[in-house]
Chains A and B, each alone.
Chain A
């Protein structure tokens, strides 16, 4: 449903993402992984038009993404973005709005009735384990994990066709991180949506994604399940990257799941 067709992004002389082909299939969960500066965030932002491709094209359900250089293109792009839920790094909650108002923001813009909004928020609050009291708070009164849940609610409120998450668990402390990883995996399963998630953590990628896309220096090094990366690394980089994460107990459990 999302595809890159030889799409590349160049800033000045440097390719943040070399021309790349990639297909995100409907209903699959894709994990983009790689060291920082590898181009994984650029790839994710390319998918919703937050950056425009220097070469090639990005398609959403077969339609090329409109450009943001003119007003008409911006309007069509905004409409498309409402059909995809994007969570920026750190959640990007608006500090002047309560958790509820953050989550309800786009529904209000779509002129939903108050009752419909309330129903939808209740539904999502159950799904993401947020209480009524927590929804009344401002972001700075919430914990990191709670903020991330609110950001997910906000992205999900319009029931998007695709969910795009940039380092959703990046800033959390390890215990909460593990807890939320399980929750996210369950959530993706429940939603049965197309998901693209960016992470620098191999274990997390394996935990959340059906398919892993390993990037380095703006190029895709290898695509496949964790087991493919571990057993049939396409390059010495993949071997080294995977090797650095090979913790026996972790790997055995993840390997089982990935297969």
Chain B
């Protein structure tokens, strides 16, 4: 590599641009090479339990048509899923009508199902059947207490001004939360407290609170035997669960589309709550919960084949996944950032531009960067590798530049006076002398990389982030540590390995002696 760098060093400005282009093209080729072109049907899901269960459910129903199906579980959010759907990285997932209106089709008039369907169709997405439940905001009460007071509907609350209310902060603040609700129903009370959701459940169970906000399909509703008050004046917006899929699926997998259409209205709120409870509280795997529902409640046959994703993975597999994110991005970053650092040291004006650009890249929040990369690179390891690559540039460029610029002038003049060419000087003198600084930059990049790569799970890249996401979703600290501890250990190991290498570099006289 040193030789190649030397050649580059003599290159003029134009050639330098060419070099950047080649490096980027190379990275994209590598990244694209990881993408498989012919692939099975893919179902996506978001990083909360209900979505994962429904993803398994869609997959299981599709498998009954004898097509192989992959479930890409626990992706980072609505935008990532929707972009992946449009880009053809996934073929279907379960979304909520309210979310589509509020997050995807913002500022569009999409009242009513026909308009919503048309707006999605314009984006190459089909609005499939509603599954039968509406996961909107709701108010809940202890079942016994509600029966004692004879409260079944939200409008019944007006007759009981002495009730204690406890709401989450978001619900308290949103226009479609408590302020709007109180006005809509004409509920006048001052006994409203803002508090954490888990505490609110405990308050209701213990009798300190009477009414709390919840999502209509919360697993806790079943667990604590609460009742959901009927929204008899239709205040809350609709968050119907609907299947959305790519328009091209109707030709490619007509049997699957048909099977999914038959799911219309088959899952009511109680059924969804029961499944959420099994998965979130009883810690049953989402796969088993979904299979049992398909077999027992839908009366359909279930496939014998095991799913390709979504099950607990071994530590080794997770580690390999993680390294598959960290190593390619780091090596690609070294390949580009070291020449960039050399160019920056050689031409201070160019250097300022390079450092500014790589510095700006560094400030982009990782989730935002991932969301931007998904339309270009799809989901899976590719966008994560690309993001890590971009984050790794700054420390390496900066350290290479400062390492080279800080070399004593006398030594460089000595090299010139001996008759070394510029490329020889770079290869034999400057790079070896700047090596401790360059290594330190690579170390910084590598350690940051190991930590940031855990976010790769948000775009389906796997790695240590996967158990962390699952752990957060299930409030399972053990599962979180399954990802967090090896990630921390790997970061420490990387740090240690580089420090050893640096010490070696120092020992052989690279760092001092002048």
Contacts and interface: CB of A to CB of B under 8 A. Distances in A.
Contacts of A154: 418
A78 B410 contact: no
Interface in B385-430: 410-411, 413-422, 424, 428-429
B424 A139 contact: no
B107 interface: no
A82 B419 contact: yes
Given A96-B433, A139-B513, A140-B513, A78 B420 contact: yes
Interface stretch (A87-95, A216-224, A228-236): A87-95
A99 B181 CA distance: 84
B307 interface: no
A132 B447 CA distance: 43
A109 B422 CA distance: 13
B168 to A, nearest CB: 62
Nearest to B10: A71
Contacts of B419: 78-82, 106, 109
A45 B512 CA distance: 26
A79 B10 CA distance: 17
A154 B414 CA distance: 11
A109 to B, nearest CB: 6
Nearest to B433: A96
Contact of A95 (B416, B418, B509): B509
Contacts of B421: 74-75, 78
Interface string A128-168: 00000000001110000000000000110000000000000
Chain A CB within 10 Å, residue with most, of B413, B419, B422: B419
Contacts of A75: 421
Interface residues of B, number: 24
A86 interface: yes
B510 interface: yes
Nearest to B421: A78
B501 to A, nearest CB: 15
B418 A140 contact: no
Contacts of A140: 509, 512-513
A23 interface: no
B513 A92 contact: no
Nearest to A155: B418
A96 B410 contact: no
Nearest to A138: B509
B416 A96 contact: no
B310 interface: no
Interface of B: 10, 410-411, 413-422, 424, 428-429, 432-433, 508-510, 512-514
18 contacts: A50-B416, A74-B421, A78-B419, A81-B416, A82-B418, A86-B418, A88-B410, A89-B410, A94-B414, A94-B429, A95-B433, A95-B509, A95-B513, A106-B418, A106-B419, A138-B508, A140-B509, A154-B418
Given A74-B422, A154-B418, 7 more contacts: A78-B420, A81-B418, A88-B410, A89-B410, A97-B509, A106-B418, A106-B420
